[in-house]
């Protein structure tokens, strides 16, 4: 399918071909689903909302509930206030959410609709029932990416709900509560983060938390608001935490800063805990904040170390290309480096100069011979791989076309994964997630070795 991608690379500034990202509202919608009894609300046209819902459904294999202002030509010209007012009325009378989380789209941003003003008017007209909430995040898609949209909605959660705490009252902190902003990860990853933090003795307030929402069990009954999600009370009490751990600079940092601004809860900004080093740093912060590393946690880590040693010969010196969301890509780059691999192409579609400097720091002297690119696209990645082939490709589903064209072993990781199942139920974060990833990478490399082996080298034991 991609046989005609040229090897000659031309600099492009005004054109993206097969972008390695999607638009802001998808991230905002996914984050909003992580609030208990929350209905995401897309202020724009129906087409945007349908695309965002269906894209999330294709990854999670779960229905995604969301409302839309359903703009038509009139709203596009005169503004979307009447649509939003009518939409809020319908949503509260028909679907009875506790929270409506409004995000904008390209169209409503271009018109310049003032969401706080419209919501204020809805309050004055008693459209928002007592005890119910409407929050909002601006998510113009012509800047940033779905990761930025996710971050903006997480920050809105802190802005709207976290109760202000004066420094003098910080003594009322609950020493057993820790806040975690998990990043744009699967529900299984959120469960895993909670499990690890609770194992050290903390009560965890995770926001957002899509576990129990986007991986709800099949019961035969449709439940509009599944049991999961961060409750409004938990969000109000973010100020009680001993710290807010923001996992991923792009997806989580701003929310933690906002909690710090409102309630003086210190922030701990960390990489996504993918692989051994990043998970170690996650556990060290838990320990530093008062958690206890139990023998069971040490055993988990030891098993991962054992597996890394057992498989070292399969990874050493192998070249790898990694693409996807910046927080994922940087953490994966560090992990494969620790496995002895050489990340020769490292690319994200999300803008940000920090991506390049962080990747350079992780790769050290090897960075000089690696291609590191932010705001890149998959056309460029394909060209880079054609110029310098790799042994393994890591990234989301969209990488399959490059993998097929270049005949490269491919491991699906990150978001979205549209052509496989089960990925959102099994974590890739933490020590257990690192074991899973390592297993998938080993399988991909050894399957290729078996496929290409002549009969006399087709071994039973590898
Ligand atoms: S890029 Fe803009 S117009 Fe397109 S789906 Fe996203 S929000 Fe809608």
Domain 296-456 has CATH 1.25.40.10: no
Whole-structure pTM value = 0.97
List the beta bridge partners of residue 230: 35
Q: Find the mean pLDDT for residues 320-344.
A: 98
Q: Which residues contact 411 (CB under 8 A, 6 or more apart)?
A: 392, 393, 394, 437, 440, 441, 444
Pairing of strands 410-412, 38-43: unpaired
Q: Quick one: what percent of the chain has pLDDT higher than 70?
A: 99
Q: Considering only residues 158 and 462, tell me which one the structure prediction assigns the higher pLDDT.
A: 158
Q: Considering only CA atoms, which residue is closest to atom 3 of ligand 1?
A: 106
Determine if ligand 1 sits within 6 Å of the CB of residue 48: yes
Q: Torsions phi, psi of 449, nearest 5?
A: -65, -45
Distance 106 CA to ligand 1 centre (A): 6
At the top level of CATH, the class of 168-291 is: alpha beta
pLDDT at position 98 = 98
Is the pLDDT confidence value at 35 over 70? yes
Is the pLDDT confidence value at 249 over 90? yes
The 3-class SS string of 151-193 reads HHHHHHHHHHHCCCCCHHHHHHCCCCEEEEECCCCCHHHHHHH
Q: Considering only residues 11 and 190, tell me which one the structure prediction assigns the higher pLDDT.
A: 190
Mutate to test the pocket of ligand 1, among 16, 28, 30, 48 (most ligand atoms within 8 A of CB): 48
Is the pLDDT confidence value at 172 over 70? no
Q: Considering only CA atoms, which residue is closest to atom 6 of ligand 1?
A: 23
Mutate to test the pocket of ligand 1, among 22, 105, 152 (most ligand atoms within 8 A of CB): 105
Determine if ligand 1 sits within 6 Å of the CB of residue 25: yes
Distance 335 CA to ligand 1 centre (A): 34
Q: Which fold has domain 24-143?
A: Rossmann fold (3.40.50)
pLDDT at position 345 = 98
Torsion of CA 30, 33, 34, 36, to 10 degrees: 170
| 289 CB neighbour count, 10 Å cutoff | 18
pLDDT at position 281 = 98
Distance 105 CA to ligand 1 centre (A): 6
Peptide bond into 395 cis (omega under 30): no
Determine if ligand 1 sits within 6 Å of the CB of residue 23: yes
> Under DSSP, is residue 288 helix (H, G, I), strand (E, B) or coil?
helix
Determine if ligand 1 sits within 6 Å of the CB of residue 139: no
Q: Considering only CA atoms, which residue is closest to atom 7 of ligand 1?
A: 105
So where are the chain's domains?
A: 24-143, 168-291, 296-456
Comparing CA positions, the residue from 273, 58, 241, 255 lying closest to residue 150 is 255
Q: How far apart are CA 255 and CA 13, in angstroms?
A: 31
Determine if ligand 1 sits within 6 Å of the CB of residue 106: yes
Distance 379 CA to ligand 1 centre (A): 21
Distance 142 CA to ligand 1 centre (A): 8
pLDDT at position 171 = 65
Handedness of CA 283, 287, 290, 291 (dihedral sign): positive
Two domains, one topology: 168-291 and 296-456: yes
Q: Which residue matches tokens 């060209």?
A: 383
Q: How does 309-342 read in b/e, with b if 16+ C-beta sit within 10 Å?
A: eebeebbeebbbbbbbbbbbbbbbbbbbbbbebb
- Looking at the chain, how many residues does it have? 462
């Amino acid at each position: 399918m991609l046989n005609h991608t040229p090897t000659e690379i031309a600099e492009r500034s005004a054109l993206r071909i097969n972008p390695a990202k999607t638009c802001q509202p998808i991230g905002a919608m996914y984050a909003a689903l992580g609030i208990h009894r929350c209905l995401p609300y897309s202020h724009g046209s129906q087409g945007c909302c349908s695309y965002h819902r269906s894209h999330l459904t294709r990854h999670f294999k779960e229905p995604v509930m969301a409302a839309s202002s359903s703009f038509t030509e009139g709203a596009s010209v005169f503004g979307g206030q009447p649509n939003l007012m009518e939409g809020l009325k319908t949503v509260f009378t028909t679907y009875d959410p506790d929270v409506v989380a409004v995000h904008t789209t390209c169209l409503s941003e271009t018109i310049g609709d003032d969401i706080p003003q419209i919501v204020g008017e809805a309050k004055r007209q008693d459209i928002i029932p007592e005890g119910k909430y409407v929050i909002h995040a601006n998510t113009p898609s012509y800047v940033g990416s779905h990761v930025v949209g996710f971050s903006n909605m997480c920050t809105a959660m802190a802005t709207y709900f976290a109760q202000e705490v004066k420094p003098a009252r910080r003594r009322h902190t609950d020493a057993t509560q820790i806040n975690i902003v998990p990043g744009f990860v699967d529900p299984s990853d959120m469960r895993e983060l909670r499990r690890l933090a609770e194992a050290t003795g903390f009560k965890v307030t995770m926001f957002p938390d899509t576990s129990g929402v986007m991986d709800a069990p099949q019961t035969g009954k449709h439940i509009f608001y599944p049991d999961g999600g961060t409750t409004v009370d938990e969000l109000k009490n973010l100020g009680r935490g001993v710290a807010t751990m923001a996992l991923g600079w792009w997806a989580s940092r701003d929310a933690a800063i906002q909690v710090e601004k409102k309630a003086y809860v210190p922030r701990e900004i960390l990489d996504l805990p993918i692989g051994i080093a990043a998970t170690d740093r996650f556990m060290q912060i838990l320990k530093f904040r008062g958690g206890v590393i139990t023998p069971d946690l040490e055993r988990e880590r030891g098993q991962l170390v054992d597996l890394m040693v057992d498989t070292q010969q399969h990874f050493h010196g192998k070249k790898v290309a990694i693409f996807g969301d910046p927080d994922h890509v940087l953490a994966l780059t560090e992990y494969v480096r620790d496995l002895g691999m050489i990340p020769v192409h490292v690319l994200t579609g999300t803008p940000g100069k920090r991506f390049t400097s962080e990747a350079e720091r992780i790769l050290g002297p090897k960075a000089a011979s690696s291609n590191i690119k932010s705001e890149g696209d998959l056309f460029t990645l394909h060209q880079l791989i054609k110029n310098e082939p790799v042994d393994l490709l890591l990234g989301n589903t969209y990488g399959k076309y490059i993998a097929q064209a270049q005949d490269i072993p491919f491991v699906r990781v990150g978001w979205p994964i549209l052509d496989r199942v089960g990925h959102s139920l099994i974590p890739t974060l933490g020590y257990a997630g690192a074991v899973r990833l390592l297993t998938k990478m080993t399988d991909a490399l050894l399957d290729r070795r078996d496929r290409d082996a002549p009969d006399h080298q087709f071994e039973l034991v590898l």
